[in-house]
Homo-oligomer: A and B are copies of this chain.
Amino acid sequence: MTATLGTTSTTKTPDLGPAVELVSKEEGHRQPLAPEFVSAEDFSPLEVAYDFGRVRREDIEAGPKNIWRYKKLLPVPSNVEEIPNTEPGATRLIQADRLAKALGVKKVWVKDDTGNPTHSFKDRVVAVALAAAREFGFDVLACPSTGNLANAVAAAAARAGWRSVVLIPKTLERAKILTTAVYDGDLIAVDGNYDDVNRLATQLAAEQESWAFVNVNVRPYYSEGSKTLAFEVAEQLGWRLPSQIVVPIASGSQLTKVDKGFREFGQLGLVDETPYKVFGAQATGCSPVSAAFRAGHDVVQPVKPDTIARSLAIGNPADGPYVLDVVNRTGGAIEDVTDEEVVEGIRLLARTEGIFTETAGGVTVATAKKLIETGKLNPDEEIVLLITGDGLKTLDAVEDKIGPKATVSASADAVREALGI
């Protein structure tokens, strides 16, 4: 099933910059650019193919301080920065010496994507989806979601002046409902679980001609936005690839796109094609890709998620097999960590580097720790950690574990005693 073209698409040829075709991931069938996400030939996911032409560092450096500086490597129009959209990206890459010391390794870099407009990497993919969707003539931005994606879609649609339609399970935490509802789109709470919401989204995507479901019918464009994480890391390192990078796995899309981003930078001569290893991080309560990696399988057995890392809780990850390909090809590894380790990971990053990440970031940090302890990450080579979301959104995960050192009466003596001074 694929979505039909948007209503106004006949009046305009979409300008998707360097993008030229869609190609199926399994057998490489090619088809014209359209809001479709599965190949009718081999039923595998469709991916954007490009004709990049020449891209120089100077062109990128002269661009805006957000993801649109990489527009020549994305399926977006050539004047994308002039069109109302959120302006994600250009987030900090922090040299994390105290974390490195705590982990017993030489050098760690933290890519802190909490600085995005709605504080997660989802702003990157949604901004690209919106830019492409506009070219296809859509005028409604939609998604099924349980958190970060809902925030990003509702915010981007508000900024663009589009209607947003976001479907959520009605049991979602109140904070996540509020941070989506505030943008005043059409937020619909469904009396069902995530599977129900996803099913309804797929149904609506098939019948609503002018609706772009970011992670359904415009998914090939949407997912390309994750490449900008790789682009930024490489540019911020001074135009070179890192030797080791740890990426959290939900659907697996981000990990494969980080790899794609590094390869494209290398192929275009923007960086030297030095070897790099990609490592994957999962929560044990939803670790189908980690389990497949451990077993040496090339397919992924779906699981029923049960973890506090809800933004990673996809039991049947669409890009699982491709994640295994990337990790095996680059010589990386995949590990998973318990919920307790996730919280420890959150606290370790906060304590050492002053960055408060959500549970997904805790998964990344804790998995890195485990990969170091088991000798899979080389302690003598640099390690980049992708921190993709914000602790303010998952306060419940740490709520019972942290608090004031002491509660005292309002006297200087009491404070001194509590502080041991």
A58 in the interface (beta carbon within 8 A): no
Q: How far is B90's CA from A92's CA once the two chains are assembled, in angstroms?
A: 10
A165 in the interface (beta carbon within 8 A): yes
Interface window among A9-17, A32-40, A152-160, A306-314: A152-160
A55 in the interface (beta carbon within 8 A): no
Contact B119 A392 (CB under 8 A): yes
Q: How far is B167's CA from A354's CA once the two chains are assembled, in angstroms?
A: 18
Chain A 156-194: CB-based contact to B (< 8 A → 1; otherwise 0) = 111101000101101000110111011110111111100
Q: How far is B350's CA from A69's CA once the two chains are assembled, in angstroms?
A: 25
Given A196-B410, A208-B421, A408-B188, is A181 in contact with B403 using a C-beta cutoff of 8 Å?
yes
Contact A186 B408 (CB under 8 A): no
Q: How far is B418's CA from A408's CA once the two chains are assembled, in angstroms?
A: 51
Contact B200 A354 (CB under 8 A): no
Interface window among A70-78, A110-118, A326-334, A369-377: A110-118
Contact A155 B356 (CB under 8 A): yes
Q: How far is B412's CA from A208's CA once the two chains are assembled, in angstroms?
A: 12
Q: Which residue of B lies closest to A66 (CB)?
A: B92
A406 in the interface (beta carbon within 8 A): yes
Give the residue of B161, B179, B187 whose beta carbon is less than 8 angstroms from that of A391.
B179
Contact A94 B98 (CB under 8 A): no
Q: List 22 A-B contacts (CB under 8 A).
A: A84-B98, A86-B354, A87-B94, A154-B354, A159-B352, A159-B355, A165-B419, A167-B415, A174-B399, A177-B404, A178-B398, A178-B399, A178-B403, A181-B404, A182-B346, A182-B356, A184-B402, A187-B403, A191-B409, A200-B411, A200-B415, A392-B393
Using CB atoms and an 8 Å cutoff, list the residues of chain A in contact with chain B: 65-66, 84, 86-87, 90, 92, 94, 97-98, 112, 114-119, 154-159, 161, 165, 167-168, 170, 174-175, 177-179, 181-184, 186-192, 196-197, 200, 203-204, 208, 346-347, 350-356, 390-393, 395, 398-399, 402-412, 415-416, 418-419, 421
